[in-house]
Structure 1
Amino acid sequence: RAHPGHSTAVILAGDVPWEWFERWGDTRVHHRGKDYEAFRAGFADRLLELLHQHYPSTRGRVEHVSVGTPLDTNHYLGKSCGESYGLQQTLAKSEADFSWLAARPQIPKWPGGLYLAGQDVTCE
């Protein structure tokens, strides 16, 4: 291991409501203002508290925190409302009919060496 005794944790908070960040939608990255930075810091604190609740041994041991918001997704990925990570997941989907999923398009002779990748690739 490169760094014995150290670990990395990544928390993906999917489906964060765009409305929480919409008021800063016309601002530029790194120039969003103190109120945005305070909101983002509070968001990070809440996520860290959830981490500590589930993994108590992490409390007091976190060395670095970096938070990306839907605004960052817009800036770096060219999105419009912070959308990312493919299909929205709900509890109902775990009990749903998955016949709409397809491992690959229905092509009579699948070309060898052709692989599909990316967001929503399993959707027909």
Structure 2
Amino acid sequence: MPLFFLTFPSVKDSTWEARHPNRATIDIAGVTSWSLFEKFSDTAWMNRGVEYEALKSRLIDELLDQVYHFCPQVRGKIDHTELATPLSFNHFLGRSHGDFMSLAASPARFAIRDLGAHSGVPGLYLAGQDVAAAGVVGATQGGIIAASAVLGRNAIEDMVSA
């Protein structure tokens, strides 16, 4: 996987340590290609076959290698892994090609002129990742774009001067 995102959600929960002493959660998301999963697209969730399970196992190992690279102290301490694939997103989110964060980041998506802060309905503004780009950073950018539209000025200047 050429790109991944690593985060520790339990660290952000001030009550976590009291509820789960000496435990932590790690989430890692990697970018992959639909072509790896397309041949399994007509199979059923939890019943996709040995080849699919082998692919998932390989991807888990690849992602764990990244975790161990950045956090070697957790090697041998991970007691559960779970991998969601693009087919998981199709099954649970009603997607068709495994997109899980907003619209697919494709040239066609970025050519849509109506995706912006101004909705066309007076007083209704749009924010979030579909206004700018996919993911957390895109959602932040979308919020700033919406704030700028509401305020009628460049709200990024507020961020710079803060």
Counterpart for residue 19 of structure 1: 35
Q: Distance in 2 between matches of 1:29 and 1:18?
A: 16
| Deviation digits for residues 39-68 of structure 1 (CA, Å, limit 9, x no counterpart) | 101110110011001110110000110000
Identity of aligned residues (%): 36
Q: Is the 8 A contact 2:86 2:97 kept in 1?
A: yes
Counterpart mapping for 1:23-34 below 5 A: 23-34=39-50
The structure whose RCO (Cα within 8 Å, separation 6+) is larger is: 1
Instruction: Tell me the SS of whatever aligns to 1:11.
Output: strand
Counterpart for residue 10 of structure 1: 27
Q: TM-score, normalised by structure 2?
A: 0.57
| Deviation digits for residues 5-34 of structure 1 (CA, Å, limit 9, x no counterpart) | 1110001113x1000111101101011001
Tell me which of 96, 105, 119 is aligned to 2:118. 105
Distance 1:11 1:107, change over 3 A: same
State the number of aligned residues: 107
Tell me which of 48, 64, 86 is aligned to 1:48. 64
Distance 1:117 1:75, change over 3 A: farther
Counterpart for residue 130 of structure 2: 120
Counterpart mapping for 1:21-100 below 5 A: 21-86=37-102, 88=105
Q: TM-score, normalised by structure 1?
A: 0.73
Q: Which runs of 5+ in 2 are unaligned?
A: 1-16, 106-114, 132-141, 147-162
Partner letter of residue 27 of structure 1? T
Give the helix-richer structure, 1 or 2: 2
Cα drift, residue 106 of structure 1:
6.9
